[in-house]
Structure 1
């Protein structure tokens, strides 16, 4: 919405809703430092960012979302927590059809230690916002996933941390996930051909200090390019991960169980039982499964019909800063979401907050919502 434009009926309805929800409206600059986005959002969003440079040479961007700027604004002028912020305005992303400006509104809920209730509040606010925008009687699919559950399941399978990190990076991307699972099943996803046997032994034993010394020696002897662009510690860590990737394969049973977990697609009221069945007696999801059930209960107590919300174990969103709940609402058969959000408990500390801040938010795509309401 440009400064001279009158607010649309959708925007007016959302402003009223946000006021009723006691959210504090925040305005943030169109130009933002690019580094937080480049470091924390993931490749899918990074490649769509409009970059520029400031007068001092700093890398800037047209804001591609509101979450990071709202968090930065809170860190710069901290207020008592918990606190709910609202926003409304344009974001900028390079689009496939040439479009680059989109209208968004949303909420960022910071600092509530009761994460189950905060997650439920974010989902409930999403449903209320869509209804306020005229979609109460329009069929809408709501789907949620949980990255924390996926991470707990991987740990329960006993995968090396390097493989857990690779699989977590692919969470929500079906193509990359299938490729990673194929590599994991075959042993040969990462070739070790040509790797010095001594380096391989040290990497397999995770003797990082000795590995760094060996890498430095090979560089000095000309066995490795002296100006490869990576330091000896970086090369050593990469070798440890590469050997772990190449030498790890899941048993057929474990791989089958991982695929069974990722195939879970059910209504939210059925999800706890389906998850417990996938885990069996030997995979302990720890606090993650109990928290999942608490969040579902909080939603039910808020009046949400759990049979109308789907849980998909493989569902994620292509933004790296999410740490737990992720969700979207969309029209049936339409790939672009009307709304989407999730939990990002590590983001504020990364951006400079003095201590970790639990946080969850939702963004609403106003142009899509208005088109769906017509």
Structure 2
């Protein structure tokens, strides 16, 4: 069977499940991916320019299908879209072009049921297992961090570290910067934040640097300020750090993990009832879709390396690299132009890894 026939087979399966096929343009405005994707994706874009605007070859389907949804008469209402075709990313030792299928579900208020549908449909479409499915919950992590009232610099560091797959020790004990720019960091220690940001941006402009590694001058300035704040920080409160270490150590069968999470939050006198009820409801919907919960692996520290995920996240592999990956991204649509947040969840299937 040819690649084109494979693509059509996948699309027919998804269309039979109620997902309408779209074919987003291969050439996409680069700014949206530079602004909204994680560092890993930004560094792998294939970029070009017409002299006035910067473009990239589409690196994935979530953002293009989200833009197609917002441009449709159904924007704000429940809708399901899918696509299958080539996507383009640079990567060490990997082809820059490969085939991917994407399925995205928009506008559904029954979030946990939609989460279960996306994972179950992706597994059904990709074919029989055995699958190893890992899952996490970015909304539960965010709710816990908010309850602990951590400084903003630590919120950013923890979220970024999880997305990069860093060990907790590396996240909680940042290495002091002894590189050539440590003098700049020392100069920024304790400085007025607005003035310090302006100073760094001015230095970059003097050096004629508008972007570096996919980051804008403002983002580079923010990174310098964050590193300066970490240099002068006394570190995390010991009690809060201990609680986070216990939380991120929880992993295993999801029902058992749920019991451990509830016990931890109760002992710490933290009210995360709403988030835990949603967690358990999602498990019920997954079971109702025929997924054996004993085959799933929950990890409190599991995250995916795209900045727009806000809730349920997952990856499914079959003996090697991930074949399926996805999650919930409720705030992405408002960032792309919607008047308010719109519930959304989706998945990608790497066709050539099947």
**TM-score class, shorter:** 0.7 to 0.9
Question: Is 1:109 aligned to 2:102, yes or no?
Answer: no
Distance 2:101 2:287 in 1: 26
Question: Is 1:84 aligned to 2:80, yes or no?
Answer: yes
Question: Is 1:7 aligned to 2:9, yes or no?
Answer: no
The aligned residue for residue 208 of structure 2 is none
Quote how far apart the aligned CAs of 1:177 are: 4.8
Query: 1:172, 1:314 within 8 Å by CA — same for their partners in 2?
Result: no
Quote how far apart the aligned CAs of 1:237 are: 11
Q: 1:237 to 1:17 in 2, by over 3 A?
A: closer
Query: Which one of 30, 35, 52 corresponds to residue 31 of structure 2?
Result: 35
Query: 1:189, 1:246 within 8 Å by CA — same for their partners in 2?
Result: no
Where in structure 1 do 4 or more consecutive aligned residues deviate above 6 Å?
A: 188-193, 234-238
The SS at the match of 1:295 is helix
Query: 1:160, 1:244 within 8 Å by CA — same for their partners in 2?
Result: no
Distance 1:291 1:331 in 2: 28
The aligned residue for residue 278 of structure 2 is 291
Question: Is 1:166 aligned to 2:161, yes or no?
Answer: no
Question: Is 1:139 aligned to 2:139, yes or no?
Answer: no
The aligned residue for residue 349 of structure 2 is 364
The SS at the match of 1:258 is helix
Aligned residues: 336
Question: Is 1:247 aligned to 2:233, yes or no?
Answer: yes
Distance 1:179 1:121 in 2: 36
Quote how far apart the aligned CAs of 1:238 are: 7.2
Query: 1:24, 1:84 within 8 Å by CA — same for their partners in 2?
Result: yes
Query: Which one of 70, 89, 104 corresponds to residue 65 of structure 2?
Result: 70
Query: Which one of 322, 325, 343 corresponds to residue 340 of structure 1?
Result: 325
The aligned residue for residue 209 of structure 2 is none
Q: 1:260 to 1:227 in 2, by over 3 A?
A: same
The aligned residue for residue 372 of structure 1 is none
Quote how far apart the aligned CAs of 1:158 are: 3.0
The SS at the match of 2:134 is strand
Q: 1:43 to 1:225 in 2, by over 3 A?
A: closer
Q: Deviations over 1:156-177 (max 9, x none)?
A: 3331123112211222323375
Quote how far apart the aligned CAs of 1:248 are: 4.2
Quote how far apart the aligned CAs of 1:277 are: 2.5
Question: What are the ranges of 5 or more consecutive residues in structure 2 without an aligned counterpart?
Answer: 206-216
Q: How does 1:280-359 map to 2 (within 5 A)?
A: 280-285=267-272, 287-332=274-319, 334=320, 336-359=321-344
Distance 2:245 2:112 in 1: 27
| TM norm structure 1 | 0.80
Q: Deviations over 1:89-138 (max 9, x none)?
A: 0001113225111101121001111111111111111221122xxxx2x3
Q: 1:281 to 1:67 in 2, by over 3 A?
A: same
Distance 2:16 2:8 in 1: 13
Q: CA RMSD in A?
A: 3.2
Question: Is 1:227 aligned to 2:218, yes or no?
Answer: no
| TM norm structure 2 | 0.84
Quote how far apart the aligned CAs of 1:356 are: 1.6
The aligned residue for residue 257 of structure 1 is 243
Q: Deviations over 1:258-310 (max 9, x none)?
A: 12211211112222102113322423335222211121122122222111111
Q: 1:225 to 1:257 in 2, by over 3 A?
A: closer
Question: What are the ranges of 5 or more consecutive residues in structure 1 without an aligned counterpart?
Answer: 370-374
Distance 2:244 2:116 in 1: 27
Distance 1:151 1:351 in 2: 22
Q: 1:245 to 1:361 in 2, by over 3 A?
A: farther
Q: 1:301 to 1:53 in 2, by over 3 A?
A: same
Quote how far apart the aligned CAs of 1:31 are: 0.5
**Structure having the higher Rg:** 1
